[in-house]
Amino acid sequence: MIAFFLRRLVSAVAVLLCVVTITFLLIRIAPGSPFDAERKLPPAVEKQLMAKYNLDGSLWDQYRSYLGKLLSGDLGDSLKYRNRTVAEILSQTLPATMLLGSVALVIAVTGGVVIGVTAAAGQHTWRDAVAMLIALAGISLPTFIIGPILVLIFGLWLKWLPVGGWGSLAALILPAVTLAIPYIAYVARLLRGSMIETLGQDFVRTARAKGLREYVVLYKHALRVAILPVVSYLGPLAAHLLTGSIVVETIFNIPGAGGFFVNSILNRDGFLLGGVVIVYCALLVAFNLIVDCLYSALDRRIRLDG
């Protein structure tokens, strides 16, 4: 267990290092300087700025000093939002992104489980066909189609939910549902497959023979076994939901980290971009690790040797 954990940790650090390096190179290869603005800076000022942020050395020197800073836990300063460090910006914007992501995660898993179980229990009936058609639509349609359509229907025509704003529970519903829909569909498909397999097993027949009610058989006996593939998908799912809200944040004007991600690319704000990428990547790796441990707790037959 510990050996497995350590090996995974080493490979995670290696992946992080690769991603940091590639991001660093990409942002430096791009032409233009972070200090290009509508108003051209005097050359002397620009030179001073370059020196201050350590951008005047060779590529190798810059890379070394950046990595050194990262190792000591310093994400650097933003080049565009002067006098703010990357850590400050992230700590101000990440909570909104995280809240949105966690609500979406709950919606995605519960919605996916209910649809998946319903489809599997009614295999070869119209319920199954409808559920799978909805799932196909959910998977094929990107959030920037679903989001505006939901706003139009529930926000503007029916006027059930607020369209923008941030801070109330009602304002959270539309963005969270928009973010969750593709993953509801994915979880539903995944669960339907494993549920159909599970429902054919002997212990399900036994449970039914005991005269248990159908929903007890489905949700208490069969789901417990059938949920395993969904659990192993929880890691990437959580990471995608917590980091993948760029479009949703744009549509619904949410003050999260996604907007800063896009802006930092446009502004060539290398340190801010690096910070966002590192945090996102670290989340991805961490969730995968947690889920692997959770997996073995749910099913004792799985041993962590890989």
Residues that bind another protein (CB under 8 A): 15, 18-19, 22-23, 26-27, 29-32, 136-137, 139-142, 144-145, 147-149, 151-152, 155-157, 163, 193, 196-197, 246-247, 250-251, 261-262, 265-266, 273, 277, 280-281, 284
Q: What is the smallest separation between the CB atom of 96 and another protein, expressed in angstroms?
A: 18
Residue 162 or 212: the one with the smaller Cβ distance to another protein is 162
Q: Two tokens at 136?
A: 């196909």
Q: What is the smallest separation between the CB atom of 1 and another protein, expressed in angstroms?
A: 24
| Cα gap 128→215, rounded to integer Å | 17
Residue 192 or 221: the one with the smaller Cβ distance to another protein is 192
| Cα gap 221→212, rounded to integer Å | 10
Q: What is the smallest separation between the CB atom of 144 and another protein, expressed in angstroms?
A: 5
Helix residue ranges per DSSP H, 141-168: 143-150
| Cα gap 89→279, rounded to integer Å | 12
Residue 21 or 65: the one with the smaller Cβ distance to another protein is 21
Residue 118 or 250: the one with the smaller Cβ distance to another protein is 250
In angstroms, the first-to-last Cα distance of the chain is: 10
Q: What is the smallest separation between the CB atom of 229 and another protein, expressed in angstroms?
A: 12
Q: What is the smallest separation between the CB atom of 263 and another protein, expressed in angstroms?
A: 10
Contact 92, 272 (CB under 8 A): no
Residue 119 or 217: the one with the smaller Cβ distance to another protein is 119
